[in-house]
Amino acid sequence: MNTLLVIFAVVISLALYGVVIYNNLVSIKHNVSKAWANIDVLLKQRHDELPKLVETCKQYMKHEQNTLEKVMKARSAVSQARENQDVGALGAAESSLRLGLGSLFAVAEAYPDLKADQSFQHLQNRISSLENTIADRREFYNESVNINNARIEQFPDIIIANWFAFPEWELLSFTEEEITDINVGALFN
């Protein structure tokens, strides 16, 4: 009878331990989703602000259509990657958009009336603020992904993770070229 009771207690303890592991993995998985949603909201806000910036610039920069078109094309690529939740494509699209915005702001330097325009200044500040916030949220997302990916590979979590098909997430990363500061001086040449 005591042996049966010990076996029953061990089985119940293992089951409870499995439930605790499962619940922790669920919580971590949802943190990754929440981190992605935070980035998604900011990308959407920036997506909505960029046409306003381009429209403001169009009034002054009639000869700089190529620069404006690059920004809008990159905006579209970011939007598509965001909607598809394609982290790899998002990194490349973000780089193109960042370069396009750098070019746009550099070209704007040649237009004193544009630089002085209140609407342009407001939009430039708003987009710069969104860029900084997106960078912060990328860091939070990558930390959440790292915690998730480490936990689903650790024993005994790997057993529960495989059994319930917990996914491994992709880090949002950029190449060295994509994270280097933009040389604004070179954009004027």
Q: Which of 52, 76, 70 is nearest to 106 (CA)?
A: 70
Q: Which of 112, 157, 147 is nearest to 20 (CA)?
A: 157
Residue 7 lies in a domain: no
Residue 83 lies in a domain: yes
- Of the CA atoms within 13 Å of residue 160, those in its CB half-sphere come to 19
Give Rg (Cα) of the chain: 24
Residue 4 lies in a domain: no
User: Which amino acid, residue 14?
Assistant: L
Residue 169 lies in a domain: yes
Give DSSP secondary structure letters for 16-48: HHHHHHHHHHHHHHHHHHHHHHHHHHHHHHHHH
| pLDDT string in tens for the chain (189-residue length) | 788 888 989 999 999 999 999 999 999 999 999 998 888 888 888 888 888 888 778 776 766 777 788 888 888 888 888 888 888 788 788 888 888 888 888 877 777 777 777 888 888 888 888 888 888 898 899 999 999 999 999 999 999 999 999 999 988 876 555 455 444 444 433
Residue 128 lies in a domain: yes
Residue 151 lies in a domain: yes
Residue 107 lies in a domain: yes
Number of domains, the chain: 1
Tokens of 111: 């237009």
Structural domain containing residue 76: 22-187
141: domain CATH number is 1.20.1440.20
